[in-house]
Structure 1
Amino acid sequence: MVKIGVQAMMLKQHAADHGAYQIWKRLAESGFSSVEVSQIALTPETRDEIVRANSEFGMGVAAISGGIGPTGGGGNDSLVESFDKIVADCKALGTERVRIGMMPLPAFASEQTLVEAAHTMDDFAGRLADEGIRLSYHNHHYEFARIGERHILDLIRAEAPRLLFEIDVHWVHRGGMDPVRVINNYAGVADLIHLKDYRIGLPPAEAIEGLASGNREAWTEYANNIVQFAEVGSGNLDFPGIIEAAKAAGAAHLLIEQDQQYGRDIFDCLADSRAHLVKIGYESLL
């Protein structure tokens, strides 16, 4: 059955300050039992803390993160440089999934470099499959730029047939696409989904006051950042439709994520997201 959990990228500073065990404990107390690990370096100490927390609190790791560029991308290991470590981390943490958060930016230089990156990911998907591990690629909005007649994400799918996908619904919408339709189109290969709302922020008082005084600087700053990452249910996305599409597509894990919290405590944000998911009928998936 599909499981709703938390993407831990948002908690990386908390984990650095307090240790993974304490963060996992607090997530368990908040009503979550599944975590996707990203941008939290899996040192032996951190890995052991997560193993201990999973055992004590009945939690599980949905996936860990790896890249295809040099080690150091947001604290994630590189499949190119640390393949054996990533496999060992999966086995120690009891997960069968690795996700790539993004291709190295130079891969977007041309169709040729995109195809080469897709082939690299496909090769790693095959190698990981030999270890019983599934590899997924996480989209941003960049992947909805067109190369000829197809989107970059569709190019990746065609050139990397062994690769699965982690569909991030906020970035799909920001890329000008309908998240439900994209999930439907990726049925069978959409293994992971990021639940992240898309909100249009209200103008702050200083922006309005600036206009009245003839100073447009604050308004321009607001206008350039009008789109916000939001708690599930506080934005404009259709989460019942998204979750039902994800279930029908065969996704295994749906991970709550909110890249920015705009001054709020992340645990308060997570509590609001969870409460909304319960309100719309998905408590059984948490």
Structure 2
Amino acid sequence: MPPPVALQLYSLREMADKNYEHVVNLTAEIGYAGVEPAGFPGTTPEAAGKLFESLNLKVPSAHLPLPVGENRSYVVETADAIGTKRVVSGLGRDDHSTVDNIRWSADRFNEAAEAVAPHGMTFGIHNHWWEYLEVEGRIATDILLEHLAPEVFFQVDVYWVQVGGPDPAGVLERLGDRAPLLHLKDGPCLRNTDMTALGEGKVDLPGVIAAGGDHTEWHIVELDSCATDMVEAVKKSYKYLVDNGLSRGNA
């Protein structure tokens, strides 16, 4: 049985800013099995959690601030309110631009994992393209791995990996069970260029998904921007994954 598929609600952020409940209902109507929140415009985590539950939408993870310092309580309470045990965040390009900066980033990620662990939660990293550029002759993420605690997991954004340069299938094979969540996107694989619905771009999605193998627990569709109507792209992406037996939904 293929992994279930969720929608990263950031994909429909402009609609969500106007009517969050409508976007969540639409996600369920399309057939997605889950949602990954990235903010709660016009509502609260508590209300959102009740809405997700009423629609039988699971929450495999949530994009939240790093749970360190003053953010710690907010992140833990938010994750608990929406019913997820996985907190996901990341850091910027400058934080991965030198070996010293990468070590600093690893320390922050390790601190985040330690902060949520007592609450039965885990912390993971969502990548962009800059984590897969070369730094002093090595891929930044390879350096990062040397300094990360083993409990820190990866939410691999396969599109941004390919934009950075490496083959995302190879990255997943190397990470193995440290990559339980995949962010799926498609498009021309260029920086600052609109994406497409899944199956209409240059990412070998069947190959990438196969490389994730049994380690993958969830597929999460996320389109940062799109050359066509975003709602239609979200619908087409779901249909592509389910019709090709790559993911399963609630429908």
Q: TM-score of the superposition, structure 2-length normalised? A: 0.89
2:226 matched to 1:261? yes
Q: CA–CA distance in 2 between the matches of 1:135 and 1:256?
A: 20
C-alpha displacement of 1:244: 2.1
- Distance change >3 Å, CA 105–CA 146, structure 1 → 2: closer
Gaps of at least 5 residues in structure 1 are 69-77, 202-223
Residue 242 (structure 1) shift: 1.7
Decide whether aligned partners of structure 1 residues 235 and 59 sit closer, same or farther in structure 2, where only a CA change above 3 A counts: same
**Alpha-carbon separation, structure 2, partners of 1:185 and 1:153:** 11
After superposing the two structures, state which structure 1 stretch, 3-12 or 191-200, moved more: 191-200
Give me the whole-angstrom Cα distance separating, in 2, the residues matched to 1:116 and 1:41.
30
Please name the residue that 2:47 is paired with.
49
Aligned to 2:23: 23
Q: Does 1:243 align with 2:209?
A: yes
Aligned with 2:140 (options 152, 167, 188)? 152
In structure 2, what is the Cα distance between the partners aligned to 1:109 and 1:247?
31
Question: Partner amino acid for 1:4?
Answer: V
Question: Does the Cα contact within 8 Å between 2:3 and 2:247 map onto a contact in 1?
Answer: no
Give a deviation string over 1:153-197, Cα, whole Å, max 9, x none: 112222112311111111111111111111111101112111001
Alignment of 1:29-178 (within 5 A): 29-38=29-38, 40-41=39-40, 45-68=43-66, 79-100=68-89, 102-161=90-149, 162-178=151-167
4+ residue runs over 4 A deviation: none
Contact 2:68 2:111 in 1 (8 A): no
Provide the aligned C-alpha RMSD in A: 2.2
In the other structure, the counterpart of 1:211 is: none
TM-score (norm 1): 0.79
* 1:33-89 alpha-carbon deviations (Å, 9 max, x no partner): 211112x2477x332332232222111212112234xxxxxxxxx643211111111
Match of 1:279 among 223, 243, 246: 243
Q: CA deviation at 1:116?
A: 1.1
Q: Distance in 1 between matches of 2:9 and 2:106?
A: 26
In the alignment, the residues of structure 2 paired with residue 177 and residue 171 of structure 1 have an alpha-carbon distance, to the nearest angstrom, of: 10
Q: Superposition pairs for residues 158-237 of structure 1, below 5 Å?
A: 158-161=146-149, 162-199=151-188, 227-237=193-203
Percent identical among aligned pairs is 23
C-alpha change, 1:283 and 1:2, in structure 2 (3 Å) is: closer
SS of residue in 2 equivalent to 1:98: strand
Conserved? CA contact 1:6–1:255, under 8 Å: yes
CA positional deviation for 1:25: 0.7
Q: Output the CA distance in 1 between the equivalents of 2:3 and 2:99.
A: 35
Q: Which has the higher contact order (CA 8 A, sep 6+)?
A: 2
- Equivalent-residue separation in structure 1 for 2:92 and 2:72 (angstroms): 17
CA-to-aligned-CA distance 1:178-235 (integer Å, 9 cap, x gap): 111111111011121110013279xxxxxxxxxxxxxxxxxxxxxx96x541211001
Contact 1:21-1:49 within 8 A present in 2 as well: no
- Work out whether residues 4 and 247 of structure 2, in 8 Å CA contact, stay in contact via their aligned partners in 1: no
Which runs of 5 or more residues in structure 2 are unaligned? Answer: none
Contact 1:197–1:229 (CA under 8 A) maintained in structure 2:
yes
Corresponding pairs, count: 248
For residues 200 and 94 of structure 1, the distance between their equivalents in structure 2, rounded to whole angstroms, comes to 33
Could you say which structure has the higher strand fraction? Answer: 1
Query: Quick one: which amino acid aligns to residue 158 of structure 1?
Result: E
Contact (CA 8 Å) 2:159, 2:189: kept in 1 or not?
no
Which amino acid in structure 2 is aligned with residue 52 of structure 1?
A: K
